[in-house]
Chain A
Amino acid sequence: MKPPPRFRPRRIVLRNGREVTLRAIAETDAAEIVQAFERLSAESRYSRFMQHKKRISDIALERGVRPQPGREFAFVVTIPAADGIDIVAAAQYVATAPGDVETCEFAITVAEDWRGTGIARRLLASLLRRARRDGYKTMEGWVTAANTSMLMLARRLHFKVEPVPGDATVLRVQRALQPPGPAAPITSGMACRMTSTKRRSRAG
């Protein structure tokens, strides 16, 4: 498969009137990712990792800022800051299992102060298009049962929400990507506060 086209950075005006940049993650984002993680509340970290995580391991960070082209992708949403930029949201997908070319898993995280601005919807729509282009047939995600905002957003973007046998704490959301299902809305329209993510992390 030939390498997918680069994602061109774009400026977006959010519902709160703020302008942000949406772009692909870069290796140089590692330090900012660590800082963004540290600013997150315990609740947000729990939504993303489903455990109480105190720091992102170096290995996970390393993997996260270097997505494998054509198989993985990660977006960041940035704003200008005194020391360069701040990352206020991130989203990514990876193959559900190593080598799986059919199904990918996604995660989204939005900093507390940036919820309700439509960022999450925008990110999820971008992930859907990119994953379809990478040839995945299905996108899935795991959402804590308490994370109603993420569940609402997933339903709006035509994900099916299902209970997970043996675990009442999470729900699985999934939708087909090909053949092209209902077009993933692109506008930032109604927003949802949200949830999960940052970098993928494998502890240790």
Chain B
Amino acid sequence: MHKPWLVQYPPGVPAEINIEQFASLKEVLASSCARFADLPAFNSMGTVLSYRQLDEASRAFAAWLQQVAQLRRGDRVALMLPNLLQYPVALFGVLRAGMVVVNVNPLYTPRELEHQLSDAGATAIVVLENFAHTLEQVIKATQVRRVITTQAGDLLPPLKRLLTNFVVKQVRKQVPPWRLPGAVDFRQVLTAGRAQALDDVPLTRDDLAFLQYTGGTTGVAKGTMLSHGNMVANVLQVAAWMSPNLIDGQETVVIPLPLYHVFALTGCLSFFSKGAQILLIANPRDMPAFLKALRQTRFTAIIGVNTLFRAMLDTPEFADVDLHHLKLAVAGGMAVQHVVAHRWKERAGVPLVEGYGLTESAPVAIANPVTIQEWSGQIGVPLPSTEAAILDDDDKPVALGQVGEICLRGPQVMQGYWKRPEETAKVFTGDGWLRTGDMGLMDERGSIRITDRKKDMIVVSGFKVFPNEVEDVLTMHPGVLEAGAIGVPDDRSGEAVKVVVVRKDPALTEAELLAHCKQHLTGYKMPRIVEFRSEPLPKTNIGKILRRELRV
């Protein structure tokens, strides 16, 4: 296949990556821990875990999963954690034990959590105590038999640990009461695991590494099967892409996006493969704490989404953050707004480098060269060993410059959806192209621009929301007769969820309806605008809702 985009590759970026380099993420871990042993790997709340310490802790965690919990290769282990030091320990522990990671958004409601755990068939979970009450409500309906709980400060030095755990629990009251009989404490797991042997599981590229959940058009999330081969490929692709700007073992990257999201996850692992220090931000919405962490650490790279960069720029205290060492700012997940890109360049001196991908492509497939001087407004060019094509409705390539569906091929493209062969068949063409659902065009130098979205979803700050799921929750309320959800432009989040509701119970208030939604929908899926109508929703003569007419 002709790859016109190669002319745009900066010197030093190869056209192809060598995916033979690592057979699994376990080997990526081993390589980094050997090469960078005494360098800081992860930094959270001022405490550093070196590559060597991470190696030891994750080994103990893995041994416990194998020998004490008696989990088997391929078993699914859920991680319901924010960006704390426990996350990488558990992540690498699960992977090197030969099991599959199921990332769970800690803010999930019981309804969402139950679906994901059951669908994945997870038999164990690592959960931050703050969210244990959610698990408690649904655990009986799932196959989860092993629960590891952790408190926020568990991997901090003794005094800081006690203080942090006390403040979280007693002062901020962030831990609702919970009861999970048989749950084991994270620290006990590490202690017990240190005394156990670890069976070295010979993982191959075909072994499953993650079931990464993504919204489904039918209203339920589906698990994207990402193999070790997929993940290793994307880690190498992204690392190769960044190589013109980064030096092994010398960088510090800020990760304010949650690691349960694939963009932060793979980004983090790519920096990890280059021996960077990874500064974890548990809650970027706590802007004072976030900025404090930025002031305390000299950082050279950051990854984020438009909403976050904007929030930083809008905070006056951001002016006090030293950006002199910053070499790379990567944006993904959602479209970057021109005004944000412009303000960022002015303030930071380096442009926002926009990348593009899907959970189904592990995720990065297309990106701007990191050497650009100005934000381009395009999503960029395909990464090494990645092909992109613009196809028409019959899966035939369109003429250069014509709009069609952006389709992808490459070693990072998923194995399929977990237990959903039909959904899998739908997203691949006969030639093995992954349909992205995004409409766009390619110019003669291989640069790709998105023009429209084909898929039926709303993107809120980089998170996908399917109207179907929101409508399902709305109509669960007995006071609702009909409901339609649409995306409307929003300055902060790109798009926001607007709902139009016809009441059965005329006394139903917006507050009641939102309270109902809150029980069943994570924050980003929550309706921002509620409109009540007294007449039936607009329909075609045959009875189909005309969603576009809900916009007026």
Instruction: Point out residues on A near B: beta carbons under 8 Å.
Output: 42-43, 46, 48-52, 54, 60, 92-98, 105-107, 142, 144-146, 148, 155, 161, 163-170, 199-204
B536 touching A155, Cβ below 8 Å:
no
In the complex, 20 of the A-B residue pairs with CB atoms within 8 angstroms, ordered by the A residue number, are A46-B219, A46-B468, A48-B544, A50-B545, A51-B537, A54-B475, A93-B542, A142-B540, A145-B217, A145-B454, A146-B217, A155-B394, A168-B454, A168-B455, A168-B456, A168-B457, A200-B542, A203-B482, A203-B536, A203-B537
B542 touching A42, Cβ below 8 Å:
no
CB A124 to nearest CB in B, in angstroms, measures 14
Question: CA separation between A168 and B456, bound complex, in Å?
Answer: 5
A49 touching B541, Cβ below 8 Å:
no
CB B500 to nearest CB in A, in angstroms, measures 11
CB B141 to nearest CB in A, in angstroms, measures 19
Question: CA separation between A56 and B547, bound complex, in Å?
Answer: 20
A145 touching B455, Cβ below 8 Å:
yes
A50 touching B544, Cβ below 8 Å:
yes
A169 touching B543, Cβ below 8 Å:
no
Give per-residue flags for B490-531: 1 if the beta carbon is below 8 A from chain A beta carbons, else 0: 000000000000100000000000000000000000000000
B542 touching A51, Cβ below 8 Å:
no
Question: CA separation between A50 and B547, bound complex, in Å?
Answer: 8
Given A52-B475, A169-B456: A107 touches B543 (CB 8 Å cut-off): yes
Q: Which chain B residue shows the least CB distance to A44?
A: B218
Count of B interface residues, CB-CB < 8 Å: 37
Do most interface residues of chain A lie in helix, strand or loop, or is the interface mixed? mixed
CB A25 to nearest CB in B, in angstroms, measures 14
Question: CA separation between A54 and B476, bound complex, in Å?
Answer: 10
Query: Top 9 nearest A-B pairs by Cβ distance?
Result: A169-B456, A146-B217, A167-B548, A166-B548, A201-B543, A50-B545, A52-B475, A200-B543, A43-B218
| A97 / chain B contacts, CB cutoff of 8 Å | 541
| B547 / chain A contacts, CB cutoff of 8 Å | 50, 167, 169-170
Question: CA separation between A46 and B220, bound complex, in Å?
Answer: 13
| A42 / chain B contacts, CB cutoff of 8 Å | 218-219, 472
Using a CB-CB cutoff of 8 Å, which residues 451-494 of chain B contact chain A?
A: 452-457, 467-468, 471-472, 475, 481-484, 486
B544 touching A49, Cβ below 8 Å:
yes
Q: Does B539 contact A (CB under 8 A)?
A: yes
Question: CA separation between A166 and B547, bound complex, in Å?
Answer: 8
A105 touching B540, Cβ below 8 Å:
yes
CB A182 to nearest CB in B, in angstroms, measures 16
| A92 / chain B contacts, CB cutoff of 8 Å | 542
Q: Does B551 contact A (CB under 8 A)?
A: yes
A107 touching B484, Cβ below 8 Å:
no
A52's partner among B453, B456, B471, B542 (CB-CB below 8 A) is B471
Q: A46-B218, A105-B542 are in contact. List 7 more A-B contacts (CB 8 A).
A: A49-B545, A94-B541, A94-B542, A146-B217, A148-B426, A168-B455, A200-B542
Give per-residue flags for B380-392: 1 if the beta carbon is below 8 A from chain A beta carbons, else 0: 0000000000000
CB B237 to nearest CB in A, in angstroms, measures 29
Question: CA separation between A98 and B545, bound complex, in Å?
Answer: 17
Question: CA separation between A161 and B542, bound complex, in Å?
Answer: 19
Q: Which chain B residue shows the least CB distance to A115?
A: B422
Q: Does B286 contact A (CB under 8 A)?
A: no
Number of CB contacts from chain A to chain B under 8 A: 104
| B471 / chain A contacts, CB cutoff of 8 Å | 51-52
| B536 / chain A contacts, CB cutoff of 8 Å | 202-204
B548 touching A164, Cβ below 8 Å:
yes
B548 touching A106, Cβ below 8 Å:
no
| B217 / chain A contacts, CB cutoff of 8 Å | 144-146
Question: CA separation between A43 and B548, bound complex, in Å?
Answer: 20
Question: CA separation between A198 and B286, bound complex, in Å?
Answer: 51
Question: CA separation between A1 and B38, bound complex, in Å?
Answer: 89
Question: CA separation between A51 and B499, bound complex, in Å?
Answer: 12
A203's partner among B393, B457, B467, B481 (CB-CB below 8 A) is B481
| A202 / chain B contacts, CB cutoff of 8 Å | 536, 539, 543
A144 touching B456, Cβ below 8 Å:
yes
- Most interface-central of B486, B542, B547 (chain A CB within 10 A): B542
Question: CA separation between A168 and B551, bound complex, in Å?
Answer: 13
| A161 / chain B contacts, CB cutoff of 8 Å | 393
Q: Which chain B residue shows the least CB distance to A54?
A: B475
CB B215 to nearest CB in A, in angstroms, measures 11
CB A64 to nearest CB in B, in angstroms, measures 9
Question: CA separation between A15 and B475, bound complex, in Å?
Answer: 38
A51 touching B483, Cβ below 8 Å:
yes
CB B496 to nearest CB in A, in angstroms, measures 15
Q: Which chain A residue shows the least CB distance to B541?
A: A94
CB B212 to nearest CB in A, in angstroms, measures 20
CB A196 to nearest CB in B, in angstroms, measures 8
CB A52 to nearest CB in B, in angstroms, measures 4
CB A130 to nearest CB in B, in angstroms, measures 15
CB B474 to nearest CB in A, in angstroms, measures 8
- Most interface-central of A54, A98, A145, A199 (chain B CB within 10 A): A145
Given A51-B483, A144-B456, A169-B547: A200 touches B393 (CB 8 Å cut-off): no
Given A105-B541, A106-B542, A202-B543: A168 touches B484 (CB 8 Å cut-off): no
Using a CB-CB cutoff of 8 Å, which residues 11-56 of chain B contact chain A?
A: none
| B394 / chain A contacts, CB cutoff of 8 Å | 155
Question: CA separation between A182 and B219, bound complex, in Å?
Answer: 38
Give per-residue flags for B218-254: 1 if the beta carbon is below 8 A from chain A beta carbons, else 0: 1100000000000000000000000000000000000
CB B434 to nearest CB in A, in angstroms, measures 14
Using a CB-CB cutoff of 8 Å, which residues 77-131 of chain B contact chain A?
A: none
Q: Which chain B residue shows the least CB distance to A147?
A: B217
| A145 / chain B contacts, CB cutoff of 8 Å | 217, 437, 454-456
Q: Which chain B residue shows the least CB distance to A140?
A: B540
CB A93 to nearest CB in B, in angstroms, measures 8
Question: CA separation between A91 and B219, bound complex, in Å?
Answer: 25
Question: CA separation between A199 and B456, bound complex, in Å?
Answer: 24
